Amino acid sequence: MAKKSGKEGGGKDTLKRYRSKRDLERSPEPKGGSKRKGRTPRFVIQEHDARSHHFDFRLEVDGVLKSWAIPKGPSTDPREKRLAIAVEDHPLEYAKFEGVIPEGEYGAGTVIVWDAGRYRNVTTEDDEEIPMDRALRKGRVEIWLEGEKLEGGYALIHTKMRGDEKNWILVKVKDEKADARRNPVKSQPKSVRSGRTIAQVAREGGKSGKNGA
């Protein structure tokens, strides 16, 4: 496969799907386009109460947020494998998005920043560290999260089950940050950005919508 020479940055073209799905004049979601290079990459987990409730797990890779929708949310228990469905790349600015996507729009519902922080790629192959794009193509990614709620090693594994290319599994690696008794999805429901729960953000969004704001 020919590798694109990255003059425009790897991110630009991969946001076409993101933009084509949305009316960004009507939705408060970010349009995308900013670039940020050189620092430790970010991750974010957004709780999204849409048609079906899920958590969006996003990793900064080459100027975009690689994204998976996790119906049950992440776990701190290494025995819990969580289905993570690959979705379209999102712009970096999306990591800060919290609010209400209006009815009738793609992803209509409420979003909060459930967890956020930095991550390190710790994927190896034959005992050598390999870059994220290669790890993603190979379908096995190991990362070390430094979030407010989630910490330590996590593995994202492409399942290729039933021919469904979108299905991955997110699982906690057994390390000192693993904890089978914690259940942060239940016990720590507030946004790490605003301190609000998804119900509070939805209520406020509904009010301002009615006022025409």
**Residue reference for tokens 């390390």:** 175
Question: What token pair was written down for 51?
Answer: 């048609």
Residues that bind Mn ion (CB under 5 A): 48, 56
Q: What share of the chain is helix, strand, coil (3-state, %, to 5)?
A: 20, 35, 45
Which DSSP category does 178 fall into? Answer: -
| Amino acid type, 99 | G
Question: What token pair was written down for 69?
Answer: 């929708």
Whether the CB-CB separation of 48 and 58 falls below 8 Å is answered with no
Residue 144: Cβ-neighbour burial (10 angstroms; 0-12, 13-18, 19+): middle
Torsion of CA 181, 182, 185, 189, to 10 degrees: 130
Task: State the catalytic residue, choosing from 3, 7, 186, 210.
Answer: 210
Catalytic residue status for 177? no
How many whole angstroms separate alpha carbon 47 and alpha carbon 190?
10
How many CB atoms are closer than 10 A to CB 36?
12
Active site residues: 210
